[in-house]
A and B are shown apart, each in its own frame.
Chain A
Amino acid sequence: MMGPGTTWYIAVAAVLFGIGTTGVILRRSPLIVLLSLEIMLNASNLALVGFSRQFASVDGQIFAICVMAVAAAEVVVGLGLIVAFTRRKMPLDVDTLTELRG
């Protein structure tokens, strides 16, 4: 069945990626940052799937599944960190994490 060409898929992926980037930089709550990060990862998944369809190679989808697994692992660790913050009564605000200040 015909549908939009690969170009459209990539375009949507690009838009989603941009939205995700804006979210990571703009928001202060680490939870929202993690969610924005998820959007970015999904955008790259979409691009992978689109290209796999273009070149009729399933490798792209394999890659997308691996990305999904890694994203899950990353969410585990990220949420663990956020819970640790709360345990230590630290405010959930990335702007307070200024140990790197030179």
Chain B
Amino acid sequence: MGNVLVWVIWVAAALSCIGSGIAVISFTNPFYSALALIGNLASLAVLFLLASAEFVAAAQILVYAGAVMVMFLFVIAYLGGRADAPWAGGPRWLQIGAFVVGAAIMIEVIVALATKAGGGLSNGTEITRSFGSPAEIGRLFLTDHLLAFEITSIVLLIAAVGGVVLGMKTQAEGEAS
């Protein structure tokens, strides 16, 4: 019974992921696309939970969907939702090529999974209760992966500085206004 439930939730979350993904790329209005992306992130969080990655799921909701996407929405609101049809403009081969390439990558990976890696991926190793808990993540961040932790913080700092710089008014604009 528990297994069936897991499967049902899993399939529902997966379909919602894919559906919202398609929605992101096919809406005209960027506002709707951003909302679709929030849905995508939420579905992914469910999938993460089902994979026993609790902290990642939480971070996904709090940071990604909560902070990053909100920032996105701010900017979209500031810029105004310009209408832009998905298939407007650009050479024909480019539009067709986009679909072809996307499909190609999808199919290739699935084929690889089916033929080469199928056997080795079915049985998951036993995991403990604390697998994916914040305590575990935190411990690893501060011991084995300290360097990654520090570098990531520097990257965030640089991004913040970059954001400020990009947002500064230029001299010309300053004199004009």
Contacts and interface: CB of A to CB of B under 8 A. Distances in A.
**A and B: direct contact (Cβ < 8 Å)?**
yes
A95 to B, nearest CB: 6
Interface of A: 1-23, 25-29, 31-32, 34-36, 38-39, 42, 45-46, 49-50, 52-56, 58-59, 61-66, 68-77, 79-84, 86-87, 92-93, 95
Interface residues of B, number: 92
Contacts of A3: 3, 6-7, 10, 50
A9 B137 contact: no
Interface SS of chain B: helix
Contact of B152 (A1, A7, A52, A66): A66
Given A25-B94, A92-B82, A19 B21 contact: yes
A60 to B, nearest CB: 8
B47 A87 contact: no
B105 A21 contact: yes
Nearest to B157: A73
Contacts of A39: 21, 24-25, 37, 40
